[in-house]
């Protein structure tokens, strides 16, 4: 297993953090302080270094401090004994530069995968409460981290989809129809859509047992939970679905079937967790999803991702918190970042782990 640590972090003008330096611990790091001091922002800065973007705000210029014209985040990582210096530079006009050992990337996508991270954050609740797009994003991100071919298929598929939708609009506005032109798009959609469906089916087979183990471990009991992948392509060929929905698509002026409509279904006791899960059960569910994502990345990339835990202890009962602490003790985790408003609570819990730690007051 490759080792991965962030040793030094320096943040300038990233949101409310105008100038902050951290000398970090290889095991556990805690950011503590009152509401609004910048704990989440510090974790997000680490996410930026690793993934080339914010976890919560994809408009990069909005992450620059209101009073400043630019923002700079720098991290010195240690990956498998080699030092890696990563710098992210953001400007008001939206320009973003990422440098690895002082050399700027031409494409930021090339940086993705070098420093795997997994985030567990209060915003994860969107996975349960929001529409299918959030769950597809989770699915796509997790598969893409270790499968570049999947990512390429996905990008091409969405390009063709946009073109097909534009054509449907054109038909409607000009009161015309050309079956042959539409068929060429249908063929391409099928060509790129089918492998996406196959990859997702294969993924969920590996993912589900990992997720299930994580949930049962944290909850300490046998609340039956499931994550299932739902796609109309499970029952009918994509080609047939497109043919059958032709009239509907022409009326709607967009493509109403395909992998871009797939969803993940989250259930507890065979009922949707969104309606029938308690807050603590939902939180446990989300943590288990993310820890399974951690397991997938670790297994496929042979490296322990950096784990960012934002407000994770909130809402969980003591026994579930203790189980998470126990997880930390078993050495299947690498470097860990934790935030909390309560310094004493955090310190008391971390002491239970017998791991080295550093606490930073923000």
Ligand X SMILES: Nc1ncnc2c1ncn2[C@@H]1O[C@H](COP(=O)(O)OP(=O)(O)OP(=O)(O)O)[C@@H](O)[C@H]1O
Contact code string over 175-214 relative to ligand X, x by CB under 6 A = ----------------------------------------
For position 40 contacting ligand X by CB under 6 A, the verdict is: yes
Give the side-chain half-sphere CA count within 13 A for 136: 15
* 3-class secondary structure, 313: coil
Q: Does 35 bind ligand X (CB under 6 A)?
A: yes
Out of 25, 27, 29, 41, point to the residue binding ligand X (CB under 6 A). Answer: 41
DSSP E strands, 298-335: 306-309
Per CB under 6 A, 66 contacts ligand X: yes
Residues in the chain, overall count: 362
Residue 325 interacting with ligand X (CB under 6 A): no
Output the smallest distance, CB 164 to ligand X, in A: 38
In angstroms, what is the minimal distance from the CB of 35 to ligand X?
Answer: 3
Q: According to CB under 6 A, which residues from 260 to 319 bind ligand X?
A: none
| Stretch of 30-38, 134-142, 201-209, 234-242 contacting ligand X, by CB under 6 A | 30-38
**Sequence-separated contacts (24+) of 67-73 with Cβ below 8 Å:** 67/13, 67/18, 68/13, 68/18, 70/13, 71/12, 71/13, 71/14, 72/10, 72/11, 72/12, 72/13, 72/14, 73/9, 73/10, 73/11, 73/12, 73/14, 73/45, 73/48, 73/49
Report CA-CA distances (Å) from 176 to 19, 65, 168, 234, 269.
60, 51, 10, 33, 50
15 binds, among ligand X, Mg ion, none (CB under 5 to 8 A by kind): ligand X
16 part of the interface to ligand X, by CB under 6 A: yes
In angstroms, what is the minimal distance from the CB of 16 to ligand X?
Answer: 4
Q: Which stretch binds ligand X (CB under 6 A): 61-69, 87-95, 196-204, 222-230?
A: 61-69
Q: Which stretch binds ligand X (CB under 6 A): 4-12, 33-41, 200-208, 322-330?
A: 33-41
Total residues at interface with ligand X (CB under 6 A): 15
Query: For ligand X, which is the closer residue by CB, 301 or 362?
Result: 362
Which of 4-43 are b and which e, b meaning 16 or more Cβ less than 10 Å from the residue's Cβ?
Answer: bbbbebebbbbbebeebebebbbbbbbbbbeeebbbbbbb
CB 20 to ligand X: min, Å? 12
Q: Which is nearer to ligand X, 36 or 280 (CB)?
A: 36
Q: How are the residues of the chain apportioned to helix, strand and coil, as percentages rounded to the nearest 5?
A: 50, 25, 30
Query: Of the candidates 10, 26, 65, 123, which one interacts with ligand X according to CB under 6 A?
Result: 65
CB of 193 to ligand X, least distance (A): 39
Q: HSE on the CB side for 262, CA within 13 Å? A: 27
Site residues (vs Mg ion, CB under 5 A): 40
Block residue for tokens 């997702």: 200
Decide: 18 and 68 in contact? Cβ < 8 Å.
Answer: yes
In the complex with ligand X, which residue's Cβ is closer, 33 or 113?
33
Please give the residue ranges that form the binding site for ligand X (CB under 6 A): 15-16, 33, 35-41, 63-66, 341
């Amino acid at each position: 297993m490759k080792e991965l640590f962030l040793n030094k972090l320096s943040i300038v003008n990233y949101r409310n953090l105008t100038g902050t330096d951290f000398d970090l611990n290889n095991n556990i790091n805690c950011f503590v302080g009152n509401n609004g001091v910048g704990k989440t922002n510090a974790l997000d800065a680490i996410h930026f270094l690793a993934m080339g973007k914010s976890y919560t705000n994809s408009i990069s210029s909005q992450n620059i401090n209101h009073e400043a014209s630019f923002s700079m985040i720098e991290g010195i990582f240690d990956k498998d004994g080699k030092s890696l210096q990563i710098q992210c530079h953001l400007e008001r006009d939206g320009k973003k530069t990422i440098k690895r050992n002082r050399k700027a990337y031409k494409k930021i996508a090339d940086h993705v995968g070098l420093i795997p991270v997994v985030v567990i954050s209060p915003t994860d609740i969107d996975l349960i409460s929001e529409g299918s797009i959030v769950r597809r994003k989770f699915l796509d991100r997790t598969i893409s981290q270790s499968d570049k071919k999947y990512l390429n298929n996905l990008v091409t598929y969405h390009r063709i989809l946009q073109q097909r939708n534009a054509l449907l609009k054109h038909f409607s506005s000009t009161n015309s129809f050309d079956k042959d032109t539409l068929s060429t798009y249908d063929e391409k959609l099928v060509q790129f859509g089918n492998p996406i469906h196959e990859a997702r089916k294969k993924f969920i087979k590996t993912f589900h047992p990992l997720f299930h183990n994580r949930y049962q471990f944290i909850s300490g009991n046998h609340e039956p939970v499931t994550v299932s992948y739902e796609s109309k392509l499970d029952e009918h060929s994509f080609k047939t679905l497109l043919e059958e929905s032709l009239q509907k698509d022409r009326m709607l002026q967009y493509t109403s079937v395909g992998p871009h409509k797939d969803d993940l279904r989250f259930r507890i006791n065979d009922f949707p967790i969104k309606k029938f899960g308690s807050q603590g059960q939902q939180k446990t569910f989300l943590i288990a999803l993310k820890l399974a994502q951690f397991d997938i990345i670790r297994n496929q990339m042979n490296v322990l991702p950096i784990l960012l835990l934002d407000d994770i202890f909130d809402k969980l009962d003591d026994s579930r918190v203790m189980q998470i602490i126990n997880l930390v003790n078993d050495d299947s985790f690498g470097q860990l970042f934790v935030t909390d408003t309560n310094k004493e609570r955090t310190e008391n819990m971390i002491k239970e782990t017998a791991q080295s730690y550093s606490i930073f007051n923000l």
